[in-house]
Structures are given as C-alpha cells and as structure tokens.
Structure 1
C-alpha cells in the first residue's frame, strides 16, 4: 500500500511540475492525506484496531483519544482509498447521467450507497480477512471471517456513504473546466473572469502554405481548457485553491465522520478490550 500510494503521489507531483498548476489529482490526494490525523481518533470511536505487526509511527501520540497502533502505511492508504472511490463514483455518475438524462447530483445520490459498500467491502473485506485490522468488538452487526477478523455491516460502513460521496461531488469530475463547489464556497470567482473565445483569423482565398500546428506546453493546455481567466497573480490564486480544498476537506471530514464516530461511542458507552 505505501508503494502504490507513493507512486500515485509522485505522479501527481510530477504532473503539477509539468503544468505549473495544482491539478485535481494532486489536490485530492494531498487533502485526502491531510485529513489522516483524524483517522486514529475515528478509529477509537469505531473500535478499529490495526495489527501490531505493522511498522508504526508515533506522530499522533499527542491526541487524547486514539487507537493503540498507527501503521506507517495509513497516510498513503488514505490517498489511494479516497481518491479511487471519488473517481469511481464520479465516472459512474457521469455514465448514468448520460444514459438516463439525470443530473450529476441525482446520479450520485443513487450510486452513493452501492458504490461505497462495494468499494469498502473490497478494501476492508480483504484487510479484515487478512488480519491487517479488525473491529473489536465493533458497534452494530458485524461479519466475522474464519481468520477472526471482523468488518461492520452498518456502522461505520453506512456512515461512510456520506462524506466520501459528498467530497467527490464538491470536487467535481476531472478534468474541471470551471471552479468547483469547494472553490466557489470561498468566493474564488471574485478573482476570475469569463474567458473570451479567441477569434479565428479570416483568410481570403487558399492559403499559400499549410499552417503548422502550434505545440502548446502542458501549462497552456491546462489553461486553454478552463472557461475562466485569473485576474490576480496565478501563484496566489493556486494557493487560494489549495486553501479552499484544505478547509473543505478538514471541516467536512470532522463534521460528517469524526464527530458521529466519537459521539456514538461516548453515548452508548460501548467498550472494547483492545481499544481503551
């Protein structure tokens, strides 16, 4: 998992360097990793424990509530898990919209539960069956494999039908021509203006020689695809985009995932022999 996650991250960074713009892939991967610090607290809430055989990190030992073991691979797993889920649900929603004439929002609402359950069972089903982590004892109905690993069937897999799909919808399906919901939430349209289509030169008679195609740089290709122009220094605008994504990811993850996980365990007084 760290190797796969590292490859995705390196490719995303390389694409940013080539285009000199913060791409959808980089922003989604970076911010998926950035919410990782809340994972160990959420794991306490859902009584998830990782195998102690994994190499651990201790960067989050300062948190008052956390699961006992924090595997080193989890930040990379976050980048892969949330990123792949977003692409799956966005691509499938676009396909469904084109077939049935639905809006993107309606398609995502229909697909949110089935896509989340299938994707989570592929990942967590394999992980719990292999003993990489388990829910012990878990809240609500659970499925226990022959290996002894457990996966929850309603809580928390049902809860995860909200945030991953919501953040994917806010981010929009790549490639994005305009500002997405996260960027509009903070008013970044104030620093843009609609792009005026370039006029094609008018020629009389047959051209004397075939015009040579102009080879655009990756940055020019990226900018040409957008339907807006930036009215402030571009580096500043890109940093503001990064900030908009960061705030959106952090606040929504905290409200839609972390708070329910911690509050339910606190309200029910549920206890685990392994997660104190």
Structure 2
C-alpha cells in the first residue's frame, strides 16, 4: 500500500477556542475530518496542518490531533489536541462520557412528547455494511436524549400534525451515526439525510412539506444536523470550557424557511 503524504492546505477555519494544548473548531458541512486511503487531500486535517504548528501524534500519521469525529456532512464544534497530554486527557473524558455534546437536528414530523430518551445498541447493518443500524444483539450501547424546541406545520394539509420540528439532542454515548440512526428509529429522520429514512417524492411526509422548505432541503450538502454545544473540563488546566457553534448558512436558510410555518 502506498504511503500517503499529507499536505497543508491554506483554507479558512473558524476557531472557537484555542490554547497551547487544544483548539475547538466549527467544522463546516461537506468537509471530511481526516484523510484515508481513498482521500489524501481536502480534509480538516489538511487545513489544520496549515494553521497549527504542532498536533498530537497519538492518532497516527493520518489523524494528527483527532480525538473524535463528525460525519462529513454534519457541521459544528469539534475539539482537536495539540499535545499528547491533551490527547490522552480528552480520550479519557470521552471514554467516561464526561462531556456535554448537544446537537440541533431538523427532522421530519415531531415527537409527541416534549422530551425523551432513545436507547438501542448500534452496529453495522446486516443488510448494508455501509450503514449503521439498531441491533437486537451485538453492537454498542447507545443513548440519546432529545428535547423538542419548535414545531412547524400549516394546519391546512391532509394532516394537522407538524410536518417538521427542531430538536435538541444530547449524546450520552457517541457511536457512529448515533443521532441519525436513533431519530430514524422513532420515525423522525433528519431532513436531507441521504442515508437514513430519506423519503421518495411520492411519500406523504415529503409532499406535506411546503415547496420552499423542499427547495431549502435540496440545497443542503446532506443531513440538517449541527453540533451546537461542546462542553468539558480542560484535560490539562481543569478549566471549564463551553463553546457554542453557529450553524452554517444552509442550515440557517432551511430553519428560516421552516420558521414561516412555526406552530405556536
């Protein structure tokens, strides 16, 4: 296998917090976090190499500084380690789930309850190895807590139920595609998600969306999922850190299109 050589790329990067040990960035949608055997350039790591002099090497040559990931088309707050000491401390924090990770998700329909908890082991789908799924046996324990922030609907469609909602989802665990799989399991898949619960144009939940909302979804690079809040104690100083990441323009535009139909 040919060894990949990483190249620094001079592209803008929104930094939410930075000191000598770590930094937190607001990752845009459409950006892969780190290189792989099939993608050597155009990742967050390539951009980090331009902006940051030193990154922790514990993650390996393809993942310098990377402690956790966000899906390519999920935006928001992501912490990076500059030193090995910070990296080891962050790994411990994540393993103990001693970290606040709060997401905004724009989803089809709306849960009946104001808040709730979704539990279910997540692992590779037995029917499609590219997807994750809830498994009755095997997989890894996963827990997501949600709170309904807003409902959107017209009251003039074939159903008076909301056609979409904005949820705040707090992760208790952090499994691959956890939020997307969990929300799909309760029939509230994320708007724009190309993998989980994407409706055809003939399905009622798609046809119930106003034209301007469908248009805004079509301009998304993928799922309308944003890592809004990241909070934890600094792995070296012990300082309490909490950042809020502004959603990207595509997310804001979809939210604005939905807001016209906000239910009181």
Q: TM-score, normalised by structure 2?
A: 0.28
Whose strand fraction is larger, Structure 1's or Structure 2's? 2
Q: For the pair shown, which has the larger CA radius of gyration, 1 or 2?
A: 1
